[in-house]
Amino acid sequence: MSATARKMAPNAEDIRARKGGTPLVSLTAYTTPMAQFMDGHCDFVLVGDSVGMVLHGLTSTLGVTMEMMILHGQAVARGLKQSMMVIDMPFASYEEGPAQAFRNAARLMAETGAGAVKLEGGVEMAETIRFLVKRGIPVMAHVGLTPQSINTLGGYKVQGRDAQAEAVLADAHAVAEAGAFSVVLEKVPQGLADRITAEVAIPTIGIGASAGCDGQILVVDDMLGFFTAFKPKFVKRYADLGPLAEAAISEYAAEVRARSFPAPEHVFADQAPAAAKTVAPKAPQKD
């Protein structure tokens, strides 16, 4: 193979094979430009239903629709060549049963080109995960804090402390045994995350879990400082671009009001500039 051959995006089995190896890197993306920025840096990119809060101003992920996920999935797919794309199944698109889940998962994959779907839930979703996997749909599971269940969980609370630990552990084992190729552990105590990582045979992807997980994921707008409504404890801001963007917009507004923008270099003359004359080279002279 040529040394300059383009790196191919990993698939679900490639991700599964990374268990216990170099940590997997992931971020969420919702647009083509952002996907292009992270392509090749991330092993997989998640088109998360967090798009509802980050880009659409919703107060939770519950209002996200299939149409929204497809639209943003198509946008992200255009920006990826080297990273795998995983897409969230939105609330109420799979909970009814395996048949409903299959119809919607198949539609998401067919219309976006995603390499896998992600769905929330543990023991109660094992049958659905098994059904999907047997029919050719790779599934990334998600246990611990499951944002689509905030109304029954009582908010965005840490999951798996004290007596809850065994239930979260059982959820992780259930999704692994059902055929999920990886599992997101969200907002679970570090010790429990390390125990799950040691016990299950598939990679664990932490978000508010432990550095000992097999990989990590963050919402990109959180880690870049674009989303400022709140900042979860588990988020590290690698840049603070929100204030920079606001400052730039403020400067633009001031210049427009002062009529200093557009400046002469930003506008067009009434007459097109004359074309430069081409001077033919002189023929060599004889002695």
Task: Please calculate the CA angle 243-226-108 and round it to the nearest 5 degrees.
Answer: 165
Closest to 95 (Cα-Cα) out of 164, 149, 154: 149
Catalytic, 111? Answer no
DSSP the chain: --TTPPPPPP-HHHHHTTTTSSPEEEEE--SHHHHHHHBTTBSEEEE-TTHHHHTS--SSSTT--HHHHHHHHHHHHHT-SSSEEEEEPPTTSSTT-HHHHHHHHHHHHHHH--SEEEEEBSGGGHHHHHHHHHTT--EEEEEES-GGGHHHHTSS----SGGGHHHHHHHHHHHHHHT-SEEEEES--HHHHHHHHHH-SS-EEEESS-TTSSEEEE-HHHHTT---S---TT---S--HHHHHHHHHHHHHHHHHTT-SS-GGGS--SSPPPPPPPPPPPPPPP-
Query: Could you tell me if 144 and 168 are in contact, meaning their C-beta atoms sit under 8 angstroms apart?
Result: yes
The one-letter amino acid code at 283 reads: A
Catalytic residue among 67, 186, 255, 265: 186
Catalytic residues: 186
